[in-house]
Amino acid sequence: MTLDDILAGLFPNGSKIDISGAMIAGSAILPGAGPIHVLGITQGQPLGVDEAVALARRVLEIVKSGDRAPILFLVDSSSQRMSRRDELLGLSEYLSHLAKALLLAEAEGHCTVALLYGGSAAGAFIATALAAGTLVGLPGAHPAVMDLPSMARVTKLPIDVLKAKAEATPVFAPGLENMVQTGGIHLVLDERAPLAPQLAAILKRPQGLDERSRLGAERGGRRKAAEIADRVVALAACAPQGTQHG
């Protein structure tokens, strides 16, 4: 689906959304859910310092408004912009700032949902799609936390070894279905059905409920994450107050 198709399907009564270059910003009325803020990055563009600052600024403006309306973050990007300028300016800090702005919005009562309809990878994927409270996708989306050639360079493992692991373990593999199996993507929307009711149903889920590790265990993509997290919480709850750990 194109961006125009997605916006028309979500907001059949129209919207006030500005698309400037690769940036999206505006608001609309979602049938069945009411007012919603819309922002994001599109056209498969990389996410650099300038884009991260602009997106984070918009999220913080929404939080300051105090309206607690949901935020829809549309995602179709490549990876972070790996230019010398962006790296020298400290791109990782700007990506972190954007992610923390989305986490703040969720904490301040804005239900944050990212809709991945194209590509996204690496730091750009983490700072946008995965930073939202809930991530959903559309058929044809192609996420990757790290592609296999890059993973081979980092881990020093042969690409053939990583390809074999990717076939057996979704955590190692890029792609929509693998991200669904790990629980990173809550669900894939049905593009043949009206989009607005599907998004409205997602917004009615309990806010602040992070089900990623549980979904990963149920789907077999991350078998241990939920169990380990529960054990850590239980141990922390049993620790005596004021205990010092060296």
Identify the three-state secondary structure at position 153: helix
pLDDT at 88: 87
Q: What angle do CA 93, 225, 107 make, to 5 degrees?
A: 50
Give the H/E segment covering residue 102: helix 91-107
Say how many residues make up the chain.
246
Question: Considering only the top CATH level, what class is 3-139+189-207?
Answer: alpha beta
The domains of the chain are located at: 3-139+189-207
58-74 burial, b for 16+ CB within 10 Å, e for fewer? bbeebbeeeeebbbbbb
Residue type, 154: V
pLDDT at 39: 94
pLDDT at 244: 56
Say what the pTM is: 0.85
pLDDT at 172: 67
Is residue 71 a contact partner of residue 105, using CB atoms and an 8 Å limit?
A: yes
Place of tokens 């809709």: 115
Question: Which tokens belong to 113?
Answer: 């949902």
pLDDT tens sequence for the chain (246 residues): 888 899 999 998 888 998 888 889 999 999 988 999 999 999 888 899 999 999 999 999 999 998 999 999 999 988 888 888 988 888 999 999 999 999 999 999 999 999 999 888 888 889 998 999 999 999 988 887 777 787 888 888 888 888 888 777 777 677 788 888 888 888 999 999 999 999 999 998 877 677 888 887 788 877 888 888 888 988 888 877 665 555
Cβ atoms within 10 Å of 163's Cβ, excluding its own: 13
